[in-house]
Amino acid sequence: MSRRRALLLVAIILGSPAWPAEAAVKRSMLVAPFETGALSREDAWIGDGIAEALALAFVQHPAFVAIDRARLRTVADPQGWTEASVLQAARALHADVAVFGDVRRDATNYVIHPRYIELTAGAGESIALDELVVPDAELLDALGKLPGLYLRSLKVTLAADDAARLQGAAHPTASLRAFHLFVNGRIAALKGTQEGYEAAGDLLARAIDIDSTFVVAQYSLGVVHQALGNRWKAAAQFRASTQLDPRYPEPYKALGDLFLAAPRRLYDQAIEAYSKAIELRPFYADAYVGLGDAKAAKGDVDGAIAAYQKALAHNPLNPRMYASLGKIYFTEKGLYYEAVGAYKRALELDPSFVDAHLGLGEVYEDKGLYKEAIGEYGKAVDLDGKNPGALYNLAAVYEKVDPKEAIALWERYIDLASQLSSEKDWVDVARQHLHKLRGQVK
């Protein structure tokens, strides 16, 4: 679906007026790791390093909608990112622009060959920028120059202060060693596994030990702690990031997420944090989604939808926004077909979006469509076998169609959830279900 059709679809769903003109000119951008097959094993990280630097910069400009690099692993896992694999990933992820390239060495320098593809009507031919010949000691400086080179080639207006901001974002530390550790930490975290997050935490902590002012590393360590369930450590890292650079919006958005998920319903604090992130970056679509979720949790349905409209205007291909819209349609307005449509749209954009599978499964289960609910919960479990909510829901719905399979799933859930303090009450409920089913099956 094109951006224009996506905007039209949700305008119809919401009954809203036409969206601002700025939404029509946004381009979704995929940044792929640069190919490093010609480099030594010790230098292979540089391809991911260039991608990280570019991603940190491009998110600062309102002309582009960044595609999360974590989604790359769902569409391709090549040994090296060739032009063909980049084009395949870009089409699968609905990218308008794909940025990539390769890095080689001559006797004394790195030679960076930056390229990009603009995708229109299914076509895509790569465009090469001038190569950069970079002495080892100047690698970080070269990364700071790359975003401006790309934007000028893409004919994007770049004011002097924009250029300086993007250059600074792509050059987040003066220490090459700290940046190397940061990149390796990001690579580990992108695996999305317990082992990956633990390795990432160690690498990012070492990067911070080298450069304690490395704001992005401080924030990224908070993200890792959050993924590992260490809420207090995550909050400490996010607050450290805001103290180091009060103009950096990501940690404010992350604090909003923590407040929103807190057991004590810290909705006002979440709204304040999201609003601060939006103040710093007015086109921060994910922060608008979080703001909408917080307003919905407070019962402000109209305020939530207004925030989702803003999110859509700044990112018409945001799967999280559609999932949030599906939830509010179902839980607050009782609109079954609209909820299903929104969840399905989220999954068209990101088939690996576990929360969207869970939300769609809940809608189906509520309507007595147990086969369809099992299908969605099963997909969620396949994507994340350690997600307690997915296992719980799957076990509960199987009770209605296959008690023997439900017994096996409840046992599996209890084994997993017994290790999680947040699941204590639900484990007690699961044990009651299991006891009842064992009596029935006899």
Q: What is the pLDDT of residue 123?
A: 62
The verdict on residue 282 lying in a domain is: no
The verdict on residue 386 lying in a domain is: yes
Q: Cβ atoms within 10 A of the Cβ of 265, count?
A: 12
Q: What is the pLDDT of residue 312?
A: 86
Residue-by-residue pLDDT tens, the chain, 442 positions: 333 333 333 443 444 333 333 334 688 899 999 999 899 999 999 999 999 999 999 999 998 888 888 877 777 655 668 888 898 888 888 889 999 999 999 888 999 999 999 987 556 788 999 999 999 899 999 999 999 999 999 988 878 788 888 999 999 999 999 999 999 999 999 988 889 999 999 999 999 999 999 999 999 999 999 999 899 999 999 999 999 999 999 999 999 999 998 888 899 999 999 999 999 999 999 999 999 999 999 989 889 989 988 998 888 878 888 998 899 889 888 899 999 999 999 999 888 899 999 999 999 999 999 999 999 999 999 998 888 999 999 999 999 999 999 999 999 999 998 887 778 888 889 899 888 888 887 6
CATH classification of the domain holding 166: 3.40.50.10070
Residue 432 is encoded by which pair of tokens? 């009651």
Single-letter residue type at 98? A
Q: What is the pLDDT of residue 25?
A: 60
- Which residue, of 111, 145, 171, is where some domain finishes? 171
Q: What is the pLDDT of residue 122?
A: 56
The verdict on residue 429 lying in a domain is: yes
CATH classification of the domain holding 420: 1.25.40.10
350 CB burial (10 A radius; 0-12, 13-18, 19+): buried
Q: How many residues does this entry show for the chain?
A: 442
The verdict on residue 347 lying in a domain is: no
* Integer angstrom CA distances of residue 105 from 40, 48, 97, 143: 9, 16, 27, 16
b/e string for 163-176 if b means 16 or more Cβ within 10 A? eebbbebbbbbebe
| C-beta of residue 31 within 8 angstroms of C-beta of residue 51 | yes
The verdict on residue 208 lying in a domain is: no
The verdict on residue 230 lying in a domain is: no
Domain that includes residue 116, residue range: 1-171
Helical H segments across 115-228, by residue range: 139-153, 160-170, 176-189, 194-210, 215-227
Q: What is the pLDDT of residue 160?
A: 79
Alpha-carbon gap, residue 157 to 147, rounded angstroms: 12
Report DSSP letters for 393-420, one per residue. HHHHHHTTT-HHHHHHHHHHHHHHHTT-
Single-letter residue type at 328? I
The verdict on residue 69 lying in a domain is: yes
The model's pTM = 0.81
- Which residue, of 155, 171, 187, is where some domain finishes? 171
The verdict on residue 233 lying in a domain is: no
Alpha-carbon gap, residue 190 to 175, rounded angstroms: 23
Angle (nearest 5°) at CA 177 between 174 and 179: 65
Q: What 8-state DSSP symbol labels residue 79?
A: S
In total, how many domains does the chain have? 2
- Which residue, of 171, 202, 230, is where some domain finishes? 171
Q: What is the pLDDT of residue 8?
A: 35
